[in-house]
Amino acid sequence: TRTPVNVTVTGAAGQIGYALLFRIASGHLLGADVPVKLRLLEIPQGLKAAEGTAMELDDCAFPLLQGIEITDDPNVGFDGANVALLVGARPRTKGMERGDLLSANGGIFKPQGKAINDNAADDIKVLVVGNPANTNALIAQAAAPDVPAERFTAMTRLDHNRALSQLAKKTGAPVSDIKRLTIWGNHSATQYPDIFHAEIAGKNAAEVVGDEQWLADTFIPTVAKRGAAIIEARGASSAASAANAAIDHVHTWVNGTAAGDWTSMGIPSDGSYGVPEGLISSFPVTCKDGKYEIVQGLDVNEFSRARIDASVQELKEERDAVRELGLI
């Protein structure tokens, strides 16, 4: 029998948490043969609801679920953690300035980064879902100097999946025929979904679409503003699709990308494609044996360059702001 993997989920009592925990416990995060132990980290006000969710997890009698622990202490929550999904964050409320948002989240992600540094297992892998995800990941990473920086990642997989789906709709191709799509930059309205290197059943996607106007005026804004469209329609922000993307992100990181394909992950830049080193920005990556690598050597055309640069500029500004606030 395999030793269980310790998976910590923050914000476990929230709506993404509710959509996420059952899929982790049923084997979708790591594999159908990998037992898991769950740690649910919440703030004191969220503990009771997290206990309710844990009761329901018990009631599923998942064969792979070997234990659930609930805590509001990050040092306990991350003790021995192999995978950490940082979902709980401070949302932007009406009238909140960016500086206020960043400092409120710094108050969450800096101590959590330190607790990961001090308590997590040596092979810890971190995915930040809570927004602003890229910069929250940077704050946590900076607070964890003993953990290799590349273990801190931010989620752009939901954007990636949204882009796949929009492209499938436009071309009539099944999602499974689409490969090598890329989300560049920040998980925000400035993100750039790039189809110039994507393939649809082996043909170049931009050529199959053959409509740069659709790219600029429909595809890119639809993907980038999809979160707001979901709120408008559902009356609540995306939860099941966000949880699904978190599952996909970690599953791919651990189990690898398919031959000939890649995925998108927010990761600390090594300077590739002109993205300043250390910024947590989305790149095309391949994964193998629990490690990822940036896809190198892609030709970046003018259309793409301008959009990547704009999103990276926003990431730089967020980094400078959290630096000024003393959060990194």
Of 115 and 294, which has the nearer Cβ to ligand NAI? 115
Q: Report the interface residues with ligand NAI, using CB under 6 A.
A: 10-11, 13-17, 41-43, 46, 87-89, 91, 108, 129-131, 133, 155, 158, 187, 237-239, 242
- Is the separation of the CB atoms in 317 and 99 below 8 Å? no
Minimum distance of ligand NAI from residue 279's CB (angstroms): 16
What is the helix (H) or strand (E) element at residue 265, kind and residue range?
A: strand 263-268
* Residue nearest ligand NAI (C-beta atom): 14
Separation of alpha carbons 263 and 248, rounded Å = 10
- At residue 153, the 3 state secondary structure works out as strand
Q: Is 307 annotated as a binding residue?
A: no
Q: Residue 129 or 295: which CB sits closer to ligand NAI?
A: 129
| Closer residue to ligand NAI in complex, CB, 75/301 | 75
* Strand, coil or helix: 200: strand
Minimal distance in Å, beta carbon 5 to ligand NAI?
A: 20
User: Residues near 47 by Cβ (< 8 Å), separated by ≥ 6?
Assistant: 13, 70, 72
Please tell me whether 68 is known to bind a ligand.
Answer: no
Cβ 289 to ligand NAI, closest distance in Å?
25
The pair phi, psi for residue 184, each rounded to 5°, is -110, 145
98 is in an annotated binding site: yes
251: annotated active-site residue:
no
Give residue 90's Cα distance to chain centre.
16
Nearer Cβ to ligand NAI (223/275): 223
Q: What is the DSSP string of 35-72?
A: -EEEEEE--GGGHHHHHHHHHHHHHTT-TTEEEEEEES
Sign for the CA dihedral angle at 71, 72, 73, 77 comes to: positive
- Of the residues 160, 187, 197, 249, which is catalytic? 187
| Shortest CB 104 distance to ligand NAI, Å | 9
**274 is an annotated ligand-binding site residue:** no
Residue 129 annotated as binding site: yes
Q: Which residues belong to the active site?
A: 187
Q: Which residues are annotated as a binding site for NAD(+)?
A: 11-17, 105, 112, 129-131
